[in-house]
Amino acid sequence: MPLGSSGEALEPPTPSFIETRRGGRHMRRASDMSRARLEEAGLLSRTGPACPPVLALHLRRATAGHRDPTVCVHVQRIGRPPAEGPWRRRLPRTSIRPEIGMEAYLARSSSCRLANQPRNLEAPMARPRLRRTTATFSRAAPCAPREERCVCCFAMSSDDPLCFRVTTALRLATLGISRTAHRCLTPRSQPHLDDIYTTTRLFFGLVERIWIFFTTIKPSRNFGWGLTVLLSLLGTSDMLVSVAASLLFSLLLQSVTLVSGLGSSCSAPLGAGTAAPSDPYWQQNIQHQGTSAFGPGGYQVFRNVKDFGAKGDGVTDDTAAINAAISQGGRCGNGCGSSSTTPATVYFPQGTYLVSTPIQAYYYTELVGDARHPPTLLGTANFAGIAIIDGDPGWYGDTNNFYRSIRNFIIDTTRIPPTNTGTGIHWQVAQATSLYNIVFNLNADSNTAHQGIWMENGSGGFMGDLVFNGGSFGMWVGNQQFTVRNITVNNAKTGVYNLWGWGWTFQGVTLNNCQVGFDLATGGKTGDNQGSEAVSIIDAVVTNTPVFVRSSKASTGTLTGSIVLNNIKLNNVPTAVGVVGGAVVLNGGTTTINSWAQGNIYTGTNTNGKFVQANIANIPKAGVLLDSGGRIVSKGRPAYTDYAVSQFVSVKSQGAKGDGNTDDTAALQAVFNKYSGCKIIYFDAGTYIVSSTLTIPAGTQIVGEAWSNIMGSGSAFTNTNSPQPVVKVGTAGSTGIAEISGILFTTRAPANGAIVVEWNVHDPSGQQAAAGTWDTLIRLGGAAGTNIQGGQCSNSTTHTGDTSCFASHTGIHVTSGASGYFEGLWVWLADHDVDGGAQITAYSGRGILSESQGPVWMIGTAEHHTLYQYGLINANNHYLGLIQTETPYYQPNPAAPAPWTPSSTYNDPTAFGGGDAWSVYVKNSNNILVYGAGLYSFFNSYNSACSSTFNCQTQIIDVDSTSGVSFYSVSTVGIVEQLSVNEQGVVPQSANGNGFAGTFTAWTRS
């Protein structure tokens, strides 16, 4: 009898039925009929010799320092299946897929001991690699006399030689089961699995009929390999026929029963939306029970503007009613500055809302229109004011104007006289802000002065899925940095005018019938004369536009504004790049610009940059990062437009409190366990306390209200040496959809052992960006309830690492087996108290740590963490654009890594030039593309004088000598060496002055 991990004898399970332990009522009903169906199909027979009583599949790691005493290894080549089926018992052992390395190890005893292991067996193998032959390892100790003949171990293009990996994506019509199931076991996903024992009475009929599975199952590639390996083994002996058949059937059962992707209360997957065509958007009628945990008593989060008297009839002036809905309840308006306690969702039902003066969008406000029937905000003919929506009437500091979102609107200025400066949105904002799904209809007369967005300042930010029709400018913008995704400008004089900026990235741009696509105010060489320093455009289509990019000042052999263009398709565009006054820098026409740059470019460790104004080598992009058209994948915030209220479940309706005091861990976990995969989980506004790891299964879709807070709190998150996730999204090796939007993750100090979010889930095959976050934040300290505010962690204290001011171990950890699309993600360790503005000193070890093999898309920021802001370690296939970081204001007092100790478990850096955090730390990583970055160090121990002399920090990017990474359009502030290789500076800021910041246009490995 085989033994378990603790030495006890394990009884084999009863073989006469199929057990479905998970999957809900639907799965249990399926199991009732499954045996009869199998017998009918000939897959289960009542006659023939039985398999030996126990099939032991051993899954122990064989790595240095960890010998497996129970497996004896012998090498067997793998065979190619016959070209035609059905597959029979005996198959030729040629090569299964000669381009892929693969090994099978057959053990004939469960009490053998490995001896003379090849070195390959003592360390992880580099798999998979494309090659013609298979590696073989044959040195093994003789088997002991005692034999238990059903033991086998496989290594299939995996990390460790003694490993089992089979992935299935099945549609089991034969079993009466119509859902997709997944099963993946790897050392990474289940490193402590010792044994899986199963008993079945499958006979040669299974082998004869195995082809039936291929008529009813649509297997994934990995499952096909696994099946072929098993069938190949059938040629060794009759005993192995039973072994392989038993193993195969066991895997199929486990694929169905162990990973269903549905909660226990689900009878079927969520499926498509069921809202009727006339139904309003779900957010209008869902029960509104959101609260502010630390706000005034009776505070109202959700406000429907019609409840405040707005008519939406296109006739009544609704301005006063809308502004009343926004401001009611003592919110943070004029004279407030900022607040974390008065969030609001202001909802606009379908209709046309006439406005005559600006709608004043208060701090911590999301304005949301009916996504099914977007409402129109229509400016009157006598409109007076800066814009139809004013994101900052001068009440807030432009670089601290956080927590804003506007989505699902049509903004119409066509009634405003054309010579008036009719503006859709005034958007002077900072981080944690977004614009989504907005159409701007602007006056299109030849003398029009209208503009869709006007932005003169700030430190953003993200916007996407915008359409501008007409006007003088689609966008007239100036801001430290911004990312803009998926915009269309039709029939405007100028698509985008960029007054100033240290870095802007535009991804996915369509320009039709404009006079100028991008007009860039270049040439500012000092902070007092700041211009457009760095603009990068990727994936654009420009049609019938005389000039695509125009700069205000010519570059005559030296840097005067950095420009990077990639994958630009021009249709009847005579000038691709020009200068005000008519000079042509790059001819256009009907053509494609693969990669073109203006600015200083660097290669390898050569410290001498080269100014270019020409085509450059194609920008490297991993294929998995691209859509079917060869563009960087783009996906907007999930709106669930066609879903009915009945397809949502509220966490408060299920018992969670969200009051910032009650432990909601069990209540929230119960919601996920019950409804994951069949309901969209709605987090009503509130602060939900989590005292132990909350696991969000793959297959879950979550939407919040006014950035609902999930707050880790308690002793589980205080052990630096054994950090624990506050929230775990998926488990290691899991595959499925995972959508999180409008959520704010945080902690209550001390939380030095908190990994705030551990991201494990991977996109399903063929569904790019199915796992990701949108408009989701990680805010650490600086807000009510965090125990890190001005009165607790003031910067006036000695900076020795006060343990009560530890906010997290790591902001977000994207693990090796995960993928992710992260849009508008801000991982912020607070430098000041949002409620009052006082500077504070808090500590977080790491910002974003990614070990993912990809694909990963990141559009966001990470600030003020001690060791690094972005750590890309053993990572592959990443796109980052635009990223923005700031070094902790207190450094180098204490100097990094203090107050933390670098951990080899997380491959932390051990060297920090000058004692400051790395903004980007890259180690042993490949296929990494950074397309736009703003990396800043404004202070030296809270003294800002160094920023104007460019010496607050010695180094800010470190790339090791083996990593394959490319940087484009990178601006830095306060830095001596803008990029280092193995901690040796190679890109000096002194050669790249570009206004207040310094910019290098490109750095590539070679």
Same domain, 44 and 190: yes
What was the pLDDT predicted at 800? 67
Tokens of 712: 């880790």
Q: What number of other Cβ atoms are within 10 A of residue 943's Cβ?
A: 12
Same domain, 334 and 235: no
**Range from 467-471, 617-621, 800-804, 824-828 carrying the lowest mean pLDDT:** 800-804
Same domain, 215 and 112: yes
Q: Quick one: average pLDDT of 665-691?
A: 98
**When comparing pLDDT for 158 and 529, which is higher?**
529
Q: Quick one: average pLDDT of 742-769?
A: 98
What was the pLDDT predicted at 530? 83
pLDDT tens sequence across 913-948: 899 999 999 999 999 999 999 999 999 999 999 988
Range of the domain at 206: 24-258
32 occurs within a structural domain? yes
Same domain, 236 and 379: no
Give, to the nearest 10 degrees, the angle between helix 221-233 and helix 238-258: 160
Determine the 3-state secondary structure of 344 from DSSP: strand
Same domain, 316 and 198: no
Has residue 135 got a pLDDT over 70? no
Q: What angle do CA 273, 261, 253 make, to 5 degrees?
A: 135
pLDDT tens sequence across 185-200: 333 333 333 332 222 2
**Range from 170-184, 234-248, 822-836 carrying the lowest mean pLDDT:** 170-184
974 occurs within a structural domain? no
Alpha helices in 368-504 (DSSP H): none
CA-based nearest residue to 4, from 254, 258, 186, 197: 197
CA-based nearest residue to 498, from 515, 517, 513, 512: 517
What was the pLDDT predicted at 1? 37
Specify whether the CB–CB gap between 218 and 174 falls below 8 A: no
User: Over the chain, what is the mean pLDDT?
Assistant: 80
Give the DSSP letter of residue 319.
H
d(CA 886, CA 32): 60
Domain-ending residue, one of 235, 258, 281: 258
d(CA 938, CA 104): 57
Helix (H) or strand (E) holding 220: none
Tokens of 342: 């008065």
898 occurs within a structural domain? no
pLDDT tens sequence across 245-287: 444 444 443 333 233 369 999 999 999 999 999 999 999 999 9
pLDDT tens sequence across 477-486: 999 999 999 9
Same domain, 196 and 334: no
Supply the CATH number for residue 474's domain: 2.160.20.10
pLDDT tens sequence across 278-315: 999 999 999 999 999 999 999 999 999 999 999 999 99
Specify whether the CB–CB gap between 386 and 407 falls below 8 A: no
Specify whether the CB–CB gap between 469 and 444 falls below 8 A: yes
Same domain, 249 and 308: no
Alpha helices in 286-389 (DSSP H): 319-327
Query: Across-strand partners of 697?
Result: none
Tokens of 35: 């045996």
**When comparing pLDDT for 427 and 171, which is higher?**
427
d(CA 75, CA 105): 5
Domain-ending residue, one of 202, 237, 258: 258
Specify whether the CB–CB gap between 881 and 483 falls below 8 A: yes
19 occurs within a structural domain? no
Tokens of 380: 């009157």
Same domain, 336 and 232: no
**When comparing pLDDT for 90 and 521, which is higher?**
521
d(CA 769, CA 792): 40
3-state helix, strand, coil in the chain (%, to 5): 15, 35, 50
707 occurs within a structural domain? no
Give the DSSP letter of residue 39.
H
CA-based nearest residue to 404, from 434, 360, 372: 434
Has residue 114 got a pLDDT over 60? no
**When comparing pLDDT for 728 and 950, which is higher?**
728
Q: How many domains does the chain have?
A: 2
Specify whether the CB–CB gap between 262 and 677 falls below 8 A: yes
Residue 388 identity (one-letter amino acid): I
Same domain, 232 and 102: yes
CA atoms within 13 A on the CB side of 486: 16
Same domain, 221 and 340: no
What was the pLDDT predicted at 802? 78
What was the pLDDT predicted at 555? 85
pLDDT tens sequence across 24-52: 323 333 333 333 333 333 333 333 333 22
d(CA 922, CA 849): 10
Number of H helices, E strands in the chain: 8, 57
Same domain, 251 and 308: no
**When comparing pLDDT for 111 and 756, which is higher?**
756
CA-based nearest residue to 781, from 741, 751, 759, 760: 751
What φ, ψ does residue 256 adopt, rounded to 5°?
-80, -40
Same domain, 41 and 147: yes
pLDDT tens sequence across 788-812: 999 899 886 566 667 899 999 999 9
Tokens of 422: 């009719």
